[in-house]
Structure 1
Amino acid sequence: MHPTAEQFAEEVRSTHGVDIEVQEFPEGTKTAADAATAIGCDVSQIVKSIVMRVGDETVVVLTSGANRVSEAALASEFGVDPSEVRSADASEVKQATGWSIGGVPPTCHTNGCPMVADPTFDEFDEIWAAAGTPEAVFRLTPDELRQLSDPRFVDVFE
C-alpha cells in the first residue's frame, strides 16, 4: 500500500477508532467516473471532496460523483456573495486538509474546516471515498460518513 494511504488509514484508526480497508487501483481513481469504473459502482456512490474558498474560510464539500457544487447555493448557505466563492487552489487544498488534490479524503484534515455533504448519499448502503492518494479509496456507509466527518447535510448541488 502507498505510504500516504497507510498514513490515512492509521489516522482514521487513531482519531476515530475505526479500521478501514483501503483499496488501491493502479489505473487511478482521480475522477469520480474513474473511481466508479474501477470499483464497479454507480458514479453517484463516489464521494468527491471538493475544497472551496467561501468568503474568508475554506469549506470542504462532500458531493456525490454525479453532482456538481452550486457556487450560488454554497454562497447562500454561508451567507456570502456568490462572487466570494471559488475553488481552492492546490496549495490551499493542501494547507487546509493536509492532502493533495485527487486524494482528499472526507476526514482527518489538518484544519477544522466546515464540511457540508450531499444528501444524495443517504440513498445508498455503501459509498466510496478517497483514501489519501488518487489511486486509493475506502468503502463506508452514509452513517460512517457522518461519524468520521460530521458534515452538515445540505443541498448545495446542481
Structure 2
Amino acid sequence: MSTHPNVQRVADALAAAGATGEIRILDEAVPTAAAAAAELGCEVGAIANSLIFDGDGEPVLILTSGAHRVDTQKLAAELGIGKLRRATPEFVKQHTGQSIGGVAPVGHPAPVRTLVDTALEQYDEVWAAGGIPHSIFPTTYQELLDLTYGTPVVVR
C-alpha cells in the first residue's frame, strides 16, 4: 500500500513543503478519529480529521480535532457561505482524489480552501490521514497551517 498513488501524492506534497513527518502504513484501516487514536495510543483530540464540506458548490476542507464536531451554521456565516454541508463521497473524490476515511490535508488535484481547528494547537504532535484509510502521518498544528495555507478557526 505504500505505493498507492494517493499516498505517493501526499508524500510528494509533504516532501516539497519540507514537512518533517513520514507517512506510516498501518495494518488496519483507521477511518475515524477514535480508530486512529486507539491505533496510535494518543488522545482522540490529537487526530486532525480531514472533513470535506460543500460550501455552495465549492469544496471546503476543515481539519478539525477528532474530539470536535463542526458547527456548520457558524462557519458558513463566518465564511460568507449560504450553506455549508457535509460533502457526498463523490464530491470528496472529485475534489481531493481521495476517499472518505483517508482524506489527507494535502495531495489534492488542486488547492482546496482549508480551515484548521485551533484546538489542535494544544498538542505537540497531531496526526493526519495520508491519502488512504491505512495511512497516517505526524505533524504539528503550525505545520498544518503552513502546508495547507489554512485559516485558523474555532470549529464549534
TM-score (norm 1): 0.90
1:31 and 2:32 aligned: yes
Percent of matched pairs sharing the same residue: 37
Q: Which residue of 2 aligns with 1:3?
A: 3
C-alpha deviation, 1:7, in angstroms:
3.6
Residues 52, 46 of structure 1: alpha-carbon distance in 2 compared, 3 angstrom cutoff: same
Q: Which residue of 2 aligns with 1:86?
A: 85
C-alpha deviation, 1:74, in angstroms:
1.7
Letter in 2 for 1:96: H
TM-score (norm 2): 0.91
C-alpha deviation, 1:19, in angstroms:
5.1
Counterpart secondary structure, 1:137? strand
Counterpart secondary structure, 1:3? coil
Counterpart secondary structure, 2:36? helix
Distance in 1, Cα, partners of 2:81 & 2:147: 27
Counterpart secondary structure, 1:94? helix
Number of positions where the alignment pairs a residue of Structure 1 with one of Structure 2:
154
C-alpha deviation, 1:120, in angstroms:
0.3
1:40 and 2:37 aligned: no
C-alpha deviation, 1:22, in angstroms:
1.3
What is the root-mean-square deviation of aligned Cα atoms in Å?
1.5
C-alpha deviation, 1:42, in angstroms:
0.2
Determine if contact 1:54/1:78 at 8 Å carries over to the other structure: no
Counterpart secondary structure, 2:78? helix
Kindly report which structure 2 residues correspond to 1:1-158, keeping only aligned pairs within 5 A, or say none: 1-4=1-4, 5-13=7-15, 15-18=16-19, 20-81=21-82, 84-157=83-156
Distance in 1, Cα, partners of 2:19 & 2:154: 28
Determine if contact 2:20/2:139 at 8 Å carries over to the other structure: no
Letter in 2 for 1:153: P
Residues 7, 107 of structure 1: alpha-carbon distance in 2 compared, 3 angstrom cutoff: closer
Distance in 1, Cα, partners of 2:18 & 2:124: 21
Which stretches of structure 1, 4 residues or more, deviate above 6 A after TM superposition? none
Distance in 2, Cα, partners of 1:54 & 1:6: 28
Letter in 1 for 2:76: A
Distance in 2, Cα, partners of 1:18 & 1:94: 24
Determine if contact 2:103/2:131 at 8 Å carries over to the other structure: yes
Counterpart secondary structure, 1:153? strand
- Show structure 2 runs of 5+ residues with no match: none
